[in-house]
Amino acid sequence: MPEKSNLSRLVGLAALVTFVAGSWVGLFVVPADAAQGDVQRLMYVHVPAAWLAFLAFFVVFLMSVLYLIQRDLRWDRVAASSAEIGVVFTALTLALGSMWGKPTWGVWWTWDPRLTTTAILLAIYVGYMAIRSFADDPEKRGRWAAIVGIIGFTNVPIVYLSVIWWRTLHQPPSSPRSVSPEILWTLMLNLAAFTLIYVYLMMRRVRLAEVEGKLEERMAYHG
């Protein structure tokens, strides 16, 4: 056990360092976007958050499949942890997207395909966590959650495609904006930072889930 917490401390430290570096660069070093001004800096948090939201759900999907095959509760715990972390980042993505939209386009919400898909992803996450709350039996809980996770994730690319088609039919597609290398590198840096944050949070959360699982077991056998 000591080795594990050392590793997570290391990851946490790395996450902190990259996050601070990324924030510093994003806020103060990189020049502001010519067209959008300082608001564009929100991208450095919004895009990584979105990346995490989807990565986390992909992990939920993987773990769900693994659980259904092997019926090992460890996979279910990882899935549940990833969902918890993912839902936070999904909400963050939406909030940031909204915050960015107001000064840029004058509206709190746009039906941008990626934002819309993220909103639906949030609904899928909520459904996933909700169905977990209805089962006391860990095996049943894992099974139901895994099913919802698999179906939910399969739906995400389909939703994305359909929303894109929906928008392009009503609007001409936006021309791709070229991105300067400095912006790209800052983005990469923040992406790395957020990924490390995710890994760190996952390590802590899964450990916690293991302890919770043992506690559940003990309480049940005593009762």
Q: Which residues bind another protein (CB under 8 A)?
A: 68, 120, 123-124, 126-127, 130-131, 134, 136-140, 143-144, 147-148, 150-152, 154-155, 158-159, 161-163, 165-166, 169, 216-217, 219-221, 223
Least separation in angstroms between CB 47 and another protein: 23
What sign for the dihedral angle of Cα 204, 206, 207, 209? positive
Residue with tokens 């980042």: 89
Least separation in angstroms between CB 45 and another protein: 25
Least separation in angstroms between CB 114 and another protein: 14
* Angstrom distance (rounded) from CA 176 to CA 167: 16
CB 49 within 8 A of CB 92: yes
Q: Residue 6 or residue 154: which is nearer to another protein going by CB?
A: 154
Number of H helices and E strands in the chain, helices first, is 6, 0
Q: Residue 162 or residue 195: which is nearer to another protein going by CB?
A: 162
Least separation in angstroms between CB 213 and another protein: 11
**Total residue count of the chain as it appears in this document:** 223
Q: Which two tokens stand for residue 187?
A: 């983005």
Q: Which residues in 7-26 are b (16+ Cβ under 10 Å) and which e?
A: ebeebbebbeebbebbbebb
Least separation in angstroms between CB 217 and another protein: 7
